[in-house]
Structure 1
Amino acid sequence: MNRKINRPIMFVGTGSDVGKSVLAAAFCRIFREDGFFPAPFKSQNMSLNSFVTANGGEIGRAQAVQAEACGIDCHTDMNPVLLKPSSDKTAQVILNGKVFGNYSAGSYFRGEIKEQLFAEAIKAFQRLSKKYNPMVLEGAGSISELNLKENDIANMRVAVATNAATILVADIERGGVFASVYGSIQLLLPEERKQIKGIIINKFRGDISLFDEGRKIIKEITGVPVLGVIPAFNHIQIEEEDSVSLERKATFANDNKINVAVVLLRRISNFTDFNRLEHDERVHLYYTNNQAELQKADIIILPGSKNTIADIIELRRNGVAAEVSKLARAGKTVIGICGGYQMMGQRIKDPHGVEGDVVAVPGLNILPTTTILEAEKQTIRSSFYFKNYETRCSGYEIHMGKTTFAENAKPLNRLTEGKNEGCCTNENCWGTYMHGILDNPVVIDDLLAPFAKEQRATEDYNEFKQKQYDLLAAHVRENMDMDAVYKMLQE
């Protein structure tokens, strides 16, 4: 490879959910295929989907996916600032993988701690850039939110500070692509505008040649070339961390497959736990808080939550809590992960006000457990054995609480260091703190066994994901002017 890279590349957007994360993952894999040693970086991420690094730090799930596409393990430097909304007006701030504090949206976006966070983010970038090249940066949301721009540490301020060759991504499916591209660039400061070296029109449907005139028009009105028009795809499965993607998920049962219903929580977290299950051809996975649709499910999953108490109160209000408890007593398979595991117990206590002013709430009384929420967050990767199987599994914990159960209760998992984890009352009902538990084939096959017409070994999920990164890289490479990309990285 005689191409040389002298600067990072950055993907910013005309808005949220335009495809920045997936495109960044694509370029991570492309650079790796071309013989480089790339690494992802996002200075600030806002997401309830997170992952645990090898040293026990917490980062946004998207950067873990991008690191996987690079063929490297993830690190907290790849996402030094993570915001996890706990209500409509407050969020937990994670700095360098650990809890920094809880802040109101007003105080955070007024910039009261932004200078400190930005300085830490740049330090993280500098540490990574000494080990990897090129750095593949991702922005957050829109680059032109003028009311927030002064305190924005995720977009053009980062592009300028790192001298990143910056590509603006626009989603043509939304309509108004010319206005969004032109307006986004024109609202930038002159020094920021200079960083924009190219434009990607994403999620195009139909004959791409029909946009040839559009390419010319965009170049004429902005002075910036369109480097790629990327067709929308359905044949490639890449994790999406943006909660907006939940709106595209199924919400109704399907009579032809094993129906798995995920209870739709207001503050649902780590819904990427169910990606592997969703891709199983035997399964129809859907998200709902409709009681009639829950009754149609073969399996009900209570997912994680950033505010377990608020969400279980809401489930009681809308009747879902009573319905799930009734179905569990009737023999329906019900499982819970993290916050869902806490909900399945007899009681959740919050004596320290970790989640708010409510001191305690009753659980669904499906498992003989009690949870006490604690201020210190547990973040750890784990290896374990599921039920009585001897196949070694892997997962990770992210929770603020300790769950205990009665002496006669049966643990679900055996950790490799000898401790027990999780709880089950029978083969149909169990709960665990282990995110990623459903990525393990032995767990999937055990869960589906009572409903599957044929039992077979589930495909290795890691191999499946690697194939998807290869497909994604090929798809993007085919529709990009890669020579132009490398040229701007040589500047």
Structure 2
Amino acid sequence: MKRLRPIMFVGTGSDVGKSIISAAFCRIFLQDGFCPAPFKAQNMALNSYATPEGLEIGRAQAVQAEAAGIDCHTDMNPLLLKPTTDKICQVVLNGKPMNNQSAFEYFREEGRDELRTEVNSAFDRLEKRFNPIVMEGAGSVSEINLRKLDLVNMPMAIHAGANVIIVADIDRGGVFASVYGSVMLLTEEERKHVKGILINKFRGDIRLFEPGIKMLEDLCGIPVIGVVPYYKDIYIEEEDSVMLQTKNIQATQGKVNIAVVLLKRMSNFTDFNILERDPRVHLYYTNNTDEIEKADIILIPGSKSTLSDLYDLRRNGVAQSITKAYKSGATVMGICGGFQIMGQEVCDPLGVEGNIERLPGLGLLPVSTKMQGEKVTRQVKFSFLESEKVCEGYEIHMGTTTLLNNAKGAPVNILSDNSTDGYFVDSRCFGTYIHGILDNSEVIEYLLKPYADKSTSKSFDLKAFKEEQYNKLANHVRKHTDMDLVYKIMNEKV
């Protein structure tokens, strides 16, 4: 098969749809008989994933790899920044935590060459294994104040010899200025790599924008490869939790009401994607005490800063509402940081997370958690409550959780290596470290069984659903993109 040059999707700004467009092209190239792979040199996100080797990457690249039909790998996202506070990030290099740095510390020239060597080497290894590489930029492509320090946008494109497509979100307005300004702020060498413009999230009659296409092409001297309409009926995992607050519609009649506690530093919110799609369920995200107390099931998610989020839950009354709801008959389940929060205490004597040394937990589980400097990242296979079927998930967490007060061991899961996970009080109260546990039908059915009389709808096949969505996304983007032009661009030298 003929080798294609890498293609890179950069943006006029953040949240213009680069990640989704990249996922779409991963699936398009797979459909067309190629063996594509995603690549993003540097990603900033709390939503991460464990590779088969037990290393950590951004969830967006894991989704793109899934769209490409391959296992994810750290070479697809060699540098991951995980915010711990508004100014501090954990730096994860090649899947392993390196250190915590402030934004000022991270964006400096010292040590930059070493990081650049690492991300460039990751790309070089990936390109030898796959064809083509679908690359993604970060934020705006024209952050000229950070040009010397940039690892992920045009310097990466130049190293890769990639053909660059600028993605612009027309829904937010100002598309002409944002595209033209982005192109004009690039250096002459950088502009040589920009081969196309893709207009994303278009609403309305596309014929009205046809004169605008020619205007953009005349202004920038670059062809518009497509105008992709906004969609509402395709469901791909989101990279950021920004939109979760729009999903806090309160409890409703005729379905099982599930409240996900909306933590300030929530991580891995994709744990709940299957429940959002389950026709038996009404799932909402909230930190409103009344809405929590009305829920049938309360899910406490993972957190990048467990002690800080636990402090907030105690301060805003949510902690009391969760325990009150449990005493009134609701089910409470915690995942990862949520599991830690459900215990008797969370301790941080080494200051791994910050300045809070200890806080009492919700007291629902007889366990204590001590934060440790070593991070656990691995994919796992397990049996849930001694069920025979093998389930799958992954762990990404700091800290060790142990039993208190001579409590009898009552694990939720038995792992394939015969180790145990979590703690089970009863069918209405348990916690686990395993992300993705709700992607297993055995767990979902167990969770919903006590509320079976509330809904007559049936469950659905998550894997088949995901495949359908990737294909729908690819078909949608293909329909509104000049793929002949895309392939022509990818066969040309920069």
TM-based fold match above 0.5: yes
Query: Structure 1 stretch 123-132 or stretch 205-214: which is displaced more?
Result: 205-214
- Match of residue 332 from structure 1: 330
Measured in 2, the distance between the counterparts of 1:441 and 1:457 equals 12
List alignment gaps of at least 5 residues for structure 2.
Answer: none
Equivalent residue pairs, number: 489
Helix, strand or coil at the partner of 1:141? coil
- Match of residue 126 from structure 2: 128
Answer yes or no: is the 8 Å Cα contact 2:245–2:285 preserved in 1. Answer: no
C-alpha deviations, 1:249-298, integer Å up to 9, x for none?
A: 34433334221111111111000111111111111211111111112211
Answer yes or no: is the 8 Å Cα contact 1:312–1:343 preserved in 2. Answer: yes
After superposition, residues 72-111 of structure 1 pair within 5 angstroms as 72-111=70-109
Deviation of the 1:450 alpha carbon: 1.6
C-alpha deviations, 1:17-62, integer Å up to 9, x for none?
A: 1111111111011111111111110000000011111111100001
Q: Output the amino acid matched with 1:23.
A: I
- Match of residue 61 from structure 1: 59
1:268 partnered with 2:269: no
Of residues 366, 369, 384 in structure 1, which corresponds to 2:367? 369
- Report the CA distance shift for 1:246/1:113 in structure 2 as closer, same or farther (over 3 A): farther
C-alpha deviations, 1:418-457, integer Å up to 9, x for none?
A: 1211112110111100000010111111111122336787
Deviation of the 1:357 alpha carbon: 1.7
Q: Output the amino acid matched with 1:485.
A: V
- Match of residue 143 from structure 2: 145
Q: Output the amino acid matched with 2:468.
A: K
Answer yes or no: is the 8 Å Cα contact 1:373–1:400 preserved in 2. Answer: yes
Deviation of the 1:329 alpha carbon: 2.5
After superposition, residues 174-193 of structure 1 pair within 5 angstroms as 174-193=172-191
Answer yes or no: is the 8 Å Cα contact 1:347–1:362 preserved in 2. Answer: yes
- Match of residue 475 from structure 1: 476
Answer yes or no: is the 8 Å Cα contact 1:288–1:294 preserved in 2. Answer: yes
Measured in 1, the distance between the counterparts of 2:145 and 2:257 equals 44
Answer yes or no: is the 8 Å Cα contact 1:253–1:259 preserved in 2. Answer: yes
- Match of residue 451 from structure 1: 451
Query: Structure 1 stretch 399-408 or stretch 132-141: which is displaced more?
Result: 399-408
- Report the CA distance shift for 1:14/1:253 in structure 2 as closer, same or farther (over 3 A): farther
Answer yes or no: is the 8 Å Cα contact 1:353–1:359 preserved in 2. Answer: yes
- Match of residue 423 from structure 2: 423
Deviation of the 1:248 alpha carbon: 4.0
Measured in 2, the distance between the counterparts of 1:102 and 1:192 equals 32
- Match of residue 28 from structure 1: 26
C-alpha deviations, 1:144-202, integer Å up to 9, x for none?
A: 22333331211111111111111111111111111111111111111112211111111
After superposition, residues 84-483 of structure 1 pair within 5 angstroms as 84-406=82-404, 407-453=407-453, 458-483=459-484
Helix, strand or coil at the partner of 1:140? coil
Answer yes or no: is the 8 Å Cα contact 1:273–1:438 preserved in 2. Answer: yes
1:490 partnered with 2:491: yes
Measured in 2, the distance between the counterparts of 1:117 and 1:249 equals 38
Deviation of the 1:355 alpha carbon: 0.4
Answer yes or no: is the 8 Å Cα contact 1:449–1:455 preserved in 2. Answer: no
Query: Structure 1 stretch 88-97 or stretch 450-459: which is displaced more?
Result: 450-459
Answer yes or no: is the 8 Å Cα contact 1:93–1:103 preserved in 2. Answer: yes
- Report the CA distance shift for 1:254/1:182 in structure 2 as closer, same or farther (over 3 A): farther
Helix, strand or coil at the partner of 1:452? helix
Helix, strand or coil at the partner of 1:252? coil
Aligned residues: CA RMSD: 1.4
TM-score (norm 1): 0.97
Give percent identity, aligned residues only. 58
Answer yes or no: is the 8 Å Cα contact 2:7–2:490 preserved in 1. Answer: yes
Query: Structure 1 stretch 450-459 or stretch 293-302: which is displaced more?
Result: 450-459
Measured in 1, the distance between the counterparts of 2:456 and 2:254 equals 17
TM-score (norm 2): 0.96
- Report the CA distance shift for 1:175/1:247 in structure 2 as closer, same or farther (over 3 A): farther
Deviation of the 1:112 alpha carbon: 3.3
List alignment gaps of at least 5 residues for structure 1.
Answer: none
Measured in 1, the distance between the counterparts of 2:29 and 2:199 equals 20
Measured in 2, the distance between the counterparts of 1:58 and 1:455 equals 39
